[in-house]
Structure 1
Amino acid sequence: MGNFLDKEPVPPVVLVPPLFDFPPLAARTRMLESSYDMLFGKLALRTLFHDYFEHPRHFRSMLLLKPIDDPHVDLIATVSGPLDHKPDDTIVGNALFRWQRDVDDPSNFLEFSVSSSDPVLQLRSCAFYPRYGFGAFGIFPALMSKRVKSEDYGVMGLRFSSENVSIGAKLLPFSKHDEFPKSAWLVSKMGRLTVGMQYEPLYESKDGAKYKNPMNWSAAIGYGVGSGSPLSPSFNFSLELLKYSQFIASFYQHVVVQRRVKNPLEEDEVVGITNYIDFGFELQTRVDDAQKEIAESTFQVAASWQANKNFMLKGKVGPLSSSLALAFKSWWKPAFTFNISATRDRIIGKTSYGFGMRVENLRDASYQRADPNFVMLTPSKEHLAEGMVWQKGGKRPANIIWQSGKRPVLQSDVVAGNFEEIPRELRPLGKIL
């Protein structure tokens, strides 16, 4: 009886929800792309400005499935089209089958892509050896109704990547035209500073040497702070001169905050919850009047707020239109996501809506409510905060401790870059530049 009355109170808990999509789907195939096109905050801005913002009066459904018996393979199928379907409108369907050698290593894979539009069948593959830093990749359209461009015959690439340097080139081995290379890049990271340049021979030169035409060159410089993990705040600012004709300035910031839990349905030991807030800005302006195909100066601003594991709100504003998106995600098995977006066109003064639906079981992320004293083999998304004292006025705690695996992990460990005890979906993408 005395043991029952003297029972120790349950330690307070801070909820750490999994992100809706981390890493983003585009990160799975980043080794098929130029490092120049993925760094300088471009991947994060692409996710912020486009994900869950559906085209006006369009729908998009996506199915992401992984068999239980073989985690090395998965299937992604998408169907999209206009809501007010007309006889001349087309419904686009795509399916992607992927085999990945290591579940935790997205840099070695083989993909088969089928589509209702060209290319009908496409093979993509990548092999990268982190020990030596060398990798090779290829994109080969197998079935196409008409081959017009040089890359329709296939693209191959070679790269060397380490933590501080990435250099590589894309080649057209089956092209009938003398184009070598299709593109080449060099990116280097020195502390928080990243610089890079890329060569793409798209424009002719007077003497026939395309590398002498400044329109075929792009250069960028970026300053970034943060580890890349969703649990760590990050900031990236970059300046880019694209093809000597367009200047792009952008910044992206990821903020991690803790707030008090106001939900009366939560247990008494749940004292706080982690929120993820993202901001992004991009300014594009023309610096070469000779290129009339480049649009005039434009800008866009976007923000995203994930309040908990179920709801995310996004908005973006531009000179021609504004958009607002709301996404709801249920973490069942499989997980279900529904999103709706509204776009206001200022030119015609009309608001249009788009809808999206997604069903997936690619990720193992869940939102468990286990006893914090129980040692789990799989780290829980609900973390222990022993000794956590909330200051008056609702301020965030000075020191955060959460349980993951057998030993508690301090916030200082995350700041120092120790992510071994952190769940896989909350770790940085990798050390490869």
Structure 2
Amino acid sequence: MGNLMNKEPPPPMVLVPPLFDFPPLAARTRMLESSYNILFGKLALKCLFEDYFEEASHFTTRIMLKPIDDPHVDFIGNLSGPLNHKPEENIVGNALFRWQSDLDDPHSFMDLFVSSSDPILQMRSSAYYPKYGFGAFGIFPLLLRKRISTEDYGVVGLRYGSENLSVGAALMPLASKYESPKHAWLVSKMGRLTVGVQYEPQYGSKGGSTYKNLMNWSAAAGYGVGSGSPLSPSFNFCLELAKTSQFIASFYQHVVVQRRVKNPLEENEIVGITNYIDFGFELQTRVDDPKTSNNIPDSTFQVAASWQANKNFLLKGKVGPLSSTLAFAFKSWWKPSFTFNISATRDRTIGKTSYGFGIRIENLREASYQRADPNFVMLTPSKEHLAEGIIWKIGKRPMMQSDVNAGNFDGVPRELRPLGKIL
């Protein structure tokens, strides 16, 4: 009886909700892309500037499913079009069937893409061997209404990747010597500094060699802090000279903060919740002669921010020189999960506000670390010091917050780990 009367209260807890979409879907096919196009914070900025911002007066429906009996395969179907029927716009549908050899390694896979528009049928494949760092990939349009460029006949590539170096090239087998490679890149990381160059032969040269035309070259340098996991804050600043004609400065920051919970529906031991705040800025300025005809605007910029208050609500906004957009998303963590988002775009040139809608159903990314699972809850020793002495309790093995900051993610669910140790 005495033990029952003197029972210690449960320790105070801070909720750790999962991110809406992590890892991003674009990370599944990054082995088909140039590392130059993904590093320097470009992937994070792309997600910040595009995800849940629907096109004005348009809708998007996406279904992402994985069978229970065979988790190595999954299916993604998309349907998008105008809210009001317009003769010049059609509803576009496409589907992607993917097979992945290793559940924990998205770098070796094969997928088939079918669409109501070109390419009608396309196959992509990637094979990567982490032990040696070498990989190969290929993109093959099988059915097209009309093959115009040499890229329409297929692209193959080779790459090498380690923690500090990424080098590779994508070739078009049927291209002429002036069109191949499609692109080639070299990126190196030295501590927190990342530098890289990329070659894309899109412009000719008087001497016949496209290598001598500086318009075919791009270079970038970035400074980054953070592990890449959403559990750790991150910071990235990048300067890029694209095709010797456009200067791009970008900044991205991911912030992990804790706020007190004032929700009467939560238990008394719940004293706080983790929030995720993202901020991004991108400035593009033309630096070449404006008389050249490469359709590059003189200067443009965009600023965006997002706030995930809990596992169910996400608020995003972005501002540009001609328009502003505000997006709200609600996500239910059923199996499969359901997400509804609405965005409002204000076109300042005509003074009109338009709306877009999106619906997503998914069971590809499991939220095993959500609030309902007590194994993935942050424990704090007191209500007064929520940020000190935080312990992650993963199964039977406690892991200190310092382990996460040091890059030790062995006990963290794979959805919350960094995208990988491959540059």
**Which segment is superposed worse, 19-28 or 175-184?**
175-184
1:403 matches 2:393: yes
Secondary structure at the residue paired with 1:145? coil
Q: Which amino acid is the alignment partner of residue 384 of structure 2?
A: W
Post-superposition shift, 1:10? 1.1
Partner of 1:349: 351
Partner of 1:377: none
Partner of 1:92: 92
Partner of 2:384: 390
Is the 8 Å Cα contact of residues 282 and 301 (structure 1) preserved in structure 2? yes
Partner of 2:372: 369
Matches within 5 A, 1:15-30: 15-30=15-30
Post-superposition shift, 1:182? 1.2
Is the 8 Å Cα contact of residues 63 and 77 (structure 2) preserved in structure 1? yes
Q: Give the distance between the partners of 2:362 and 2:65, measured in 1 at CA.
A: 5
Post-superposition shift, 1:384? 4.2
Q: Give the distance between the partners of 1:57 and 1:425, measured in 2 at CA.
A: 33
Post-superposition shift, 1:424? 1.1
Is the 8 Å Cα contact of residues 234 and 255 (structure 1) preserved in structure 2? yes
1:306 paired residue among 305, 308, 311: 308
Secondary structure at the residue paired with 2:249? strand
Q: Which amino acid is the alignment partner of residue 321 of structure 1?
A: S
Q: Give the distance between the partners of 1:147 and 1:384, measured in 2 at CA.
A: 55
Matches within 5 A, 1:184-223: 184-223=184-223
- Give deviations 1:194-222, integer Å, cap 9, x for gaps: 00000011101111111000000000000
Is the 8 Å Cα contact of residues 221 and 239 (structure 1) preserved in structure 2? yes
Post-superposition shift, 1:90? 0.6
Partner of 1:413: 403
Post-superposition shift, 1:188? 0.2
Partner of 1:291: 292
Matches within 5 A, 1:18-417: 18-175=18-175, 178-289=178-289, 290-292=291-293, 293-366=295-368, 367-370=370-373, 372=374, 380-381=375-376, 383-391=377-385, 396-417=386-407
Is the 8 Å Cα contact of residues 75 and 97 (structure 1) preserved in structure 2? yes
Q: Which amino acid is the alignment partner of residue 334 of structure 2?
A: W
Is the 8 Å Cα contact of residues 12 and 384 (structure 1) preserved in structure 2? no
Q: Give the distance between the partners of 1:324 and 1:359, measured in 2 at CA.
A: 22
Post-superposition shift, 1:347? 0.3
Post-superposition shift, 1:397? 2.5
Cα RMSD after superposing both structures: 1.2
Q: Give the distance between the partners of 2:125 and 2:300, measured in 1 at CA.
A: 36
Is the 8 Å Cα contact of residues 311 and 329 (structure 1) preserved in structure 2? yes
Q: Give the distance between the partners of 1:49 and 1:348, measured in 2 at CA.
A: 22
Is the 8 Å Cα contact of residues 14 and 380 (structure 2) preserved in structure 1? no
Count of residues in correspondence between the two structures: 420
Q: Give the distance between the partners of 2:94 and 2:378, measured in 1 at CA.
A: 42
Q: Give the distance between the partners of 2:34 and 2:280, measured in 1 at CA.
A: 22
Is the 8 Å Cα contact of residues 112 and 123 (structure 2) preserved in structure 1? yes
Matches within 5 A, 1:5-24: 5-24=5-24
Partner of 2:417: 427
Work out the percentage of aligned pairs sharing the same amino acid: 73
Q: Give the distance between the partners of 1:206 and 1:127, measured in 2 at CA.
A: 39
Secondary structure at the residue paired with 1:265? coil
Q: Give the distance between the partners of 2:193 and 2:78, measured in 1 at CA.
A: 38
- Give deviations 1:56-112, integer Å, cap 9, x for gaps: 000000000000011100000000000001234210001000000011100000000
**Which segment is superposed worse, 23-32 or 283-292?**
283-292
Post-superposition shift, 1:7? 1.8
Q: Give the distance between the partners of 1:387 and 1:178, measured in 2 at CA.
A: 65
- Give deviations 1:366-420, integer Å, cap 9, x for gaps: 42435x5xxxxxxx44x141523424xxxx4322112111111111001111101
Q: Gapped runs of 5+ residues in structure 1?
A: 373-379
Post-superposition shift, 1:176? 6.2
Secondary structure at the residue paired with 1:45? helix
- Give deviations 1:29-75, integer Å, cap 9, x for gaps: 00000000000000000000000000000000000000001110000
Q: Which amino acid is the alignment partner of residue 350 of structure 1?
A: K
Q: Which amino acid is the alignment partner of residue 379 of structure 2?
A: A
- Give deviations 1:120-172, integer Å, cap 9, x for gaps: 00000000001101000000000011001111000000001100000000100
- Tell me the TM-score normalised to structure 1 length: 0.95
Q: Give the distance between the partners of 2:119 and 2:253, measured in 1 at CA.
A: 36
Secondary structure at the residue paired with 2:97? strand
Post-superposition shift, 1:180? 2.0
Q: Give the distance between the partners of 2:310 and 2:31, measured in 1 at CA.
A: 31
Q: Give the distance between the partners of 1:426 and 1:336, measured in 2 at CA.
A: 20
- Tell me the TM-score normalised to structure 2 length: 0.97
Is the 8 Å Cα contact of residues 200 and 217 (structure 2) preserved in structure 1? yes
